[in-house]
Amino acid sequence: MYEAHFGLREPPFGITPDTSFAYACNSHQEALNTLLIAARNGEGFMKVTGEVGTGKTLLCRRFLHALDPARFVSAYIPNPYLEPQTLMFALADELGVKIDRGADQHHLLRELNHALLDFARAGKTVVACMDEAQAMPQETLESLRLLTNLETEKRKLLQVVLFGQPELDERLARESIRQLRQRITFQYRLSALSAAEVEQYLTHRLRVAGYRGNRLFVPAAVRRLHRASRGIPRLVNIIAHKSLLLAFGEGVQQVQPHHVGNAAADTPAAASAPHRWWLAAAAVVLVAGGITLAYMQ
C-alpha cells in the first residue's frame, strides 16, 4: 500500500497488539511496574482497567514477557466468558497439567492444587492473566476466588491479574462478590495519551516500522489527531493509518491536518472535529442574529 511511498518496512499502525511496537507511555509503564512489583511480592489478586482501545491486552502481553521464567509460570486466558469448570480446564491446559476430561469439579480442583504445590516446591509462582475480565460470569469469578485460597504458610499458590473495561469495577462493586473485591491488593486504571505522548507515540511506531525521514505528521496534524482520537491508542492507530492512505493518494510526503480531519470523519468512534462545532455555533449565532434583526424591522 503506502509503505514504499513513505520508506516503511511494514505498516506502522496496526490494531493488533504487537509488543514490538509497544510504546512505554507514563500510564502503561506505571501499570507494568505496579504489576511486576505485586507479582514479586506474591499478591493474590491484581486488577487493571481501562477504556476500550487503551492497550490492556498489549500491557498484559508485556507483563507476561517481563516475568522471569526461572521464577514464574504463567497462564493466559484471552476470553474468560466460561463456566467455572471450563475455566479450570483452560487453566490446566495453560499450565500443562494433564487432567481427565471427565473429572468432576472436586477432582479437577484437587489435581490443580497438586500441580500448584509442585510448582511451589520447584520455587516457581503461578500467575494467571484474565483478559476481558468484565465478561466473566459471577459464578466463575467466585470459583476463581476459591482457587486462590490455595496457599502455603508463606505465600499464595496462584496469583490472578484481571484485565478489563470499566464495567469490571461495576461488577466488583456488587455486594455479592465483596470477598473477591477485598482481595484485590493492587490495581491500576489506564489513562489516554496526552497530546505530547501522541506525538511521541507516532514517532516511535514510525521508527519501529523503518521510517527514517523528516517529520511525517506536521504539528497541526498531530494536534488534530489527538483531539479526534481523545488519546486512545487504538483510535490513534486507525486515524493515523487512514491519514497515511490519504496522503499517499495525493502523492505527498507529509500528513496535513485535512488528511487527519477526513480520516477522523470516516471513523465513527472518533470525536467530532472541533472546527465543525465552531461552525455550527457560528451558524446558530448568525441565524439568531438574523431572526432578531427581522423581528426588529
What residue segments make up the domains of the chain, in order of their start? 26-189, 195-276
Q: What CATH topology corresponds to 195-276?
A: Helicase, Ruva Protein; domain 3 (1.10.8)
Beta 184-189 vs 72-77: how paired, if at all? unpaired
Residue 16: other Cβ atoms inside 10 A: 8
CA distance 184 to 34: 13
Q: Please answer whether residues 25 and 190 qualify as being in contact, where contact means their C-beta atoms are separated by less than 8 angstroms.
A: no
Name the pLDDT band for 209 (thresholds 50, 70, 90). Answer: very high
List residues bridging with 72 in a β-sheet. 125
Question: In this model, does residue 218 exceed pLDDT 60?
Answer: yes
CA distance 172 to 272: 33
Q: In this prediction, what percent of the chain has a pLDDT beyond 90?
A: 72
Length in residues, the chain: 297
Question: In this model, does residue 212 exceed pLDDT 50?
Answer: yes
Question: In this model, does residue 288 exceed pLDDT 70?
Answer: no
pLDDT at 153: 59
Pick from 151, 139, 129, 153: nearest CA to 105: 139
Alpha helices in the chain (DSSP H): 3-6, 26-40, 56-66, 84-95, 105-121, 138-147, 167-172, 178-183, 195-208, 219-229, 233-250, 257-265, 274-296
Question: Tell me, what amino acid is at 128?
Answer: A
User: Which has more pLDDT, 131 or 152?
Assistant: 131
Question: Tell me, what amino acid is at 255?
Answer: V
Place of cell 492507530: 237
Question: Tell me, what amino acid is at 238?
Answer: I
pLDDT at 280: 36
123 CB-near residues (< 8 Å, 6+ apart):
71
Residues 23-69 have pLDDT tens digits of 999 999 999 999 999 999 888 899 999 999 999 999 999 999 999 99
Q: What CATH topology corresponds to 26-189?
A: Rossmann fold (3.40.50)
Name the pLDDT band for 106 (thresholds 50, 70, 90). Answer: confident
pLDDT at 268: 94
Question: In this model, does residue 290 exceed pLDDT 50?
Answer: no
Residue 159: other Cβ atoms inside 10 A: 23
Classified as helix, coil or strand, 46 is strand
